[in-house]
Structure 1
Amino acid sequence: MKLTVAIDGPAAAGKGTISKAVAREFGLAHLDTGLLYRAVGAKVLAGAAPVEAAEALVPADLAPEDALRTPDVAQAASRVAADPEVRAKLLEFQRNFARREGGAVLDGRDIGTVICPDAEVKLFVTASAEARAERRYKELIGNGHEVTPEQVLADVKARDARDAGRDAAPMVAAEDAVMLDTTELSIAEALDRARECIRLKIK
């Protein structure tokens, strides 16, 4: 079976949680494509040039995830993701993963529009900036980072603007994507809706 599930959306909307859960439930491989850009961003923060960092990326660079989940790395990832050359270097890796035997779930910003426009299932997971900032703040505080709610909200809004406004593969919902707003949804409710979309395609 070659089933590709493309899940897009802004930071902290819940797409990562949903992606991992449906991948486990349906026996699909999972790729958080944001980690690719975070890993490149981390290399850039360490002094590497963006394109060279993307070319040299290996699976080991994606772990440990916690080191790639800091606010500084997130902002660096958003900056390098706006570089068309960086995106081109990572494109083939993502497409090959998407069409692997057994099926795959990919989550990111441009999966349904650029990476996998022919994906069998497309979801765009979103939520209000305030709801997403609150979730991210709790996550960061829980991981020991010293941030304020105001800082996190400002970061979320800045990243949204950069991701949606970039020339290279801007974050936008695919025309045939199912919109899933999680602002007022519990995790269980959001997962139920995502599962239903996938079940309909499998049938």
Structure 2
Amino acid sequence: MTDTDFPVIRPSTLIASKTGVLLIDFQNEHFTGALPVPGAERALANAKRLVSHAHKERMSVFYVRHLAPKDSTAFAEGTSGAEFHPNLQPSSRDHIVTKSQVSAFESTDLGEQLGRAGVNHLLVCGLTTDAEVASSTLDAVKQGFAVATVVGDACAARATTGESGTTIDSDTTHKTALGTMPSIGVPVMTTQEILALPVSVS
């Protein structure tokens, strides 16, 4: 641990009324559209398990979607690419947040929605690990949420380009992004580890 690291405390229990699942950009664009993400199907399958668990335990669920202007090449409003994946659709009890920036918090009312729901512990998952998930998690920490946990196997990344111009494969990009989370005090857990935690009402 360096002088700039924060202590990382893995949750040992979940309080249903204070826990929210944050699902970022599980949209068709990342599956069959212009910006496919390797590993997206696996991440979606685990995210779906988290949602089922959250509904069963009466936790809040927040679906974040990225929308761009109608003439955009990706996530264009009104196109199939901007729609949530058919296997991970919000129910009537879930919350929907629409963003136009990388972070789910920037220029959205997510913070207000979380506050109204009484959520102070976020279980974060989505696409992509190094961009939307990382920036949203950092913003959650900046906004003072008591706990944020990234569910690593419910996230996935695209390949990126390093400073030297070399390609960094998607798996390395994903693992590197997860590896930065402890430096801001955020634990990374698996879906199964989350599902195994005891849940209390309050």
Greater relative contact order (CA < 8 Å, ≥ 6 in sequence):
1
In the superposition, the TM-score normalised over structure 1's length comes to 0.42
In the superposition, the TM-score normalised over structure 2's length comes to 0.42
Decide which structure has greater strand share. 2
